Structure 1
Amino acid sequence: MKHIAIIICLILTTAKIKAQDYTFRKNIDKDSLFHASIKFIPEQKQKEFRKMYKDGNDQEREFILFMISMPRSSKEELIKNYEDKQAEISNLKIEYLKYVPENHIIDIEFKPESKILNVPEQIKIKIYKTSINNETKEKSVEVVSQNWNLKPNSDELKKVIESINWTDETLKEVKNLLTKANCISIKNGNITTIGFARSGMGKYSYKIFDENLNSDKIETYNNGCEYIFYKDNIVLEYGGGAVGPQCFEKI
């Protein structure tokens, strides 16, 4: 039954992928890619994946290959990058705020061109507007727009960035700051969240507070699953995707 459920999930998700024209590049040897990628799957699951790949039809095989060939990262790499790029990450947090309009939160991620799939470089931008109730003094956040898979230099992207008074040059400068920090995304707010790397359908990030965490906040942001308190004002974060791990790996 478990095997059947997985196959149903594969078929449904593959249909969505194909609808978006996420196809493999012509020069990709799929069998070789599978044998190279399966090594990164936990040993106890490799046998099941090998059987599904061997017994599956072309559609099922493609989704299995899509899943196991996704970029991979780790908690260890997340920590190492912070230690290597601490100054650049701190500068990214400070400099990014100069581009964000007052009373706005902007969440942006740059997704590079895939080396395996026919997927070009894409940009995700989510825009929020904040306000404070004069009577209750409570802060509220309103969604202005949420935009996925925008293509560079497209009219759609231009329309989105113009709404926050950004230009192509602004995008280049933000991307350059992220590149220097070896990161892929940033979201300002009461807590700045900087995305380090995608891993499967999940994402490793840093949550950076304006002040060092007190004992109460450390307790909140140190559950060992989604959050791990690292030190001072830094919390490590892992956001799980629709499929795959939902917590930090155990080391």
Structure 2
Amino acid sequence: MKKIALIITLLYSAQNIKAQNIKFRENIDKDSLFNTIVQKLPVEMHEDFTKTYKNGNEQEKEFLLFMISMPESSKKELIENFEHKKSEIQRLKNEYQKLVPKNYIVDIEFKPESKIFTITEEISVKIYKLKDKTEKENTDDVQRTDGLKVISQNWNLKPNSNELEKVIKSIGWTNETLDEIKKLLNEANCISIQNGKVTTIGFARSGMGKYSYKIFDKPLNEKEKIEYNNNCEYIFYKDNIVLEYGGGAIGSQCFEKK
């Protein structure tokens, strides 16, 4: 089972690398990098990963390195960051709400430049608008059941690019707006934010998943506590705070048990 999961992950990584034309930076010693990173994995995984790496061709080695070089985080780090950055996280929520136009929901994530791969800084922006009940449905619109209309969904845009400028201009934002949001995120030690009835603030990527905070305007009632405490993607933390783990295409879909 482990080998099947490993093969699937390698294939996914291969497609990802090929699609984005990702390469290792010239100063990277791949063997040294592998020996360093593999030590961070659980001990029981060392033998399989080392054997797979040593027996692989150059391309297979790069796929494996890409996979185990992905960022890591945990529920413990998610909680610690909230306790250390409580006021900054609340300020991020409040200030971001002021920047988003009325009746719009904007989800933005800043991805830093990689020190290992030739991946520059990227910004993903998804823009939605509350549906007007009197507005006729357009067959070309992306259909959603949450009362939101998709305005645009854009992944991995380059900073200061014409494409990014066109996207943010549609909601009256400028590069200065992005700088302000990025500053607020950095101060909160977070990477993403989406406004709405519940504000979702992304703390960190981990593998293909992401750890986040869901911040309600008021403390959760008993019904909400049950709904947002399923010990999988949601854990009720306290008051108006819910911890969230969003699993990726491959890997765990729930919070770790320990």
Q: CA deviation at 1:104?
A: 0.4
Instruction: State the alpha-carbon separation in 1 of the partners of residues 83 and 242 from structure 2.
Output: 13
Match of 1:196 among 203, 217, 231: 203
Letter in structure 2 aligned against 1:40: K
Letter in structure 1 aligned against 2:18: K
TM-score, normalised relative to structure 2: 0.91
- Other structure's SS at 1:98 match: helix
8 Å CA contact 1:191–1:207 kept in 2: the answer is: yes
Moved more, 238-247 or 76-85: 238-247
Instruction: State the alpha-carbon separation in 2 of the partners of residues 3 and 83 from structure 1.
Output: 39
8 Å CA contact 1:11–1:59 kept in 2: the answer is: no
8 Å CA contact 1:127–1:146 kept in 2: the answer is: yes
Instruction: State the alpha-carbon separation in 1 of the partners of residues 5 and 185 from structure 2.
Output: 39
Aligned partner of 1:127 in structure 2 is 127
Aligned length: 248
Aligned partner of 1:247 in structure 2 is 254
8 Å CA contact 1:203–1:239 kept in 2: the answer is: yes
Moved more, 56-65 or 14-23: 14-23
Instruction: Please tell me whether residue 53 in structure 1 is matched to residue 53 in structure 2.
Output: yes
Instruction: State the alpha-carbon separation in 2 of the partners of residues 4 and 219 from structure 1.
Output: 36
- Other structure's SS at 1:40 match: coil
Instruction: State the alpha-carbon separation in 2 of the partners of residues 64 and 235 from structure 1.
Output: 34
Q: CA deviation at 1:125?
A: 0.2
The 3 A distance-change label for structure 1 pair 5 and 180 is: closer
Letter in structure 2 aligned against 1:250: K
Aligned partner of 2:141 in structure 1 is none
Q: CA deviation at 1:80?
A: 0.7
8 Å CA contact 1:105–1:129 kept in 2: the answer is: yes
Instruction: State the alpha-carbon separation in 1 of the partners of residues 234 and 39 from structure 2.
Output: 27
Identity of aligned residues (%): 64
Letter in structure 1 aligned against 2:94: I
Aligned partner of 2:23 in structure 1 is 23
The 3 A distance-change label for structure 1 pair 45 and 176 is: same
Letter in structure 2 aligned against 1:20: Q
Match of 1:206 among 200, 203, 213: 213
- Other structure's SS at 2:204 match: strand
Instruction: State the alpha-carbon separation in 2 of the partners of residues 249 and 12 from structure 1.
Output: 22
Instruction: State the alpha-carbon separation in 1 of the partners of residues 246 and 146 from structure 2.
Output: 25
Q: CA deviation at 1:19?
A: 2.8
1:99-248 pair list within 5 angstroms: 99-133=99-133, 140-248=147-255
The 3 A distance-change label for structure 1 pair 92 and 38 is: same
Q: CA deviation at 1:201?
A: 1.1
> Residues 75-122 of structure 1: CA distance to partner in whole angstroms, max 9, x if unpaired?
111111100110010111111011101110000000010011000000
Letter in structure 2 aligned against 1:29: D
The 3 A distance-change label for structure 1 pair 131 and 139 is: farther
Q: CA deviation at 1:139?
A: 6.6
Letter in structure 1 aligned against 2:59: Q
> Residues 190-209 of structure 1: CA distance to partner in whole angstroms, max 9, x if unpaired?
11000001111111100001
> Residues 135-158 of structure 1: CA distance to partner in whole angstroms, max 9, x if unpaired?
xxx971011110011000100001
> CA RMSD, aligned part only?
1.7
8 Å CA contact 1:7–1:60 kept in 2: the answer is: no
Letter in structure 2 aligned against 1:220: E
Instruction: State the alpha-carbon separation in 2 of the partners of residues 65 and 249 from structure 1.
Output: 23
- Other structure's SS at 2:101 match: coil
Structure 2, unaligned stretches of length 5 or more?
Answer: 135-144
Instruction: State the alpha-carbon separation in 1 of the partners of residues 97 and 9 from structure 2.
Output: 41
Letter in structure 2 aligned against 1:100: V
> Residues 31-68 of structure 1: CA distance to partner in whole angstroms, max 9, x if unpaired?
11111111222222222211211111111111111111
Instruction: State the alpha-carbon separation in 2 of the partners of residues 221 and 45 from structure 1.
Output: 33
Letter in structure 2 aligned against 1:231: K
Instruction: State the alpha-carbon separation in 1 of the partners of residues 55 and 79 from structure 2.
Output: 39
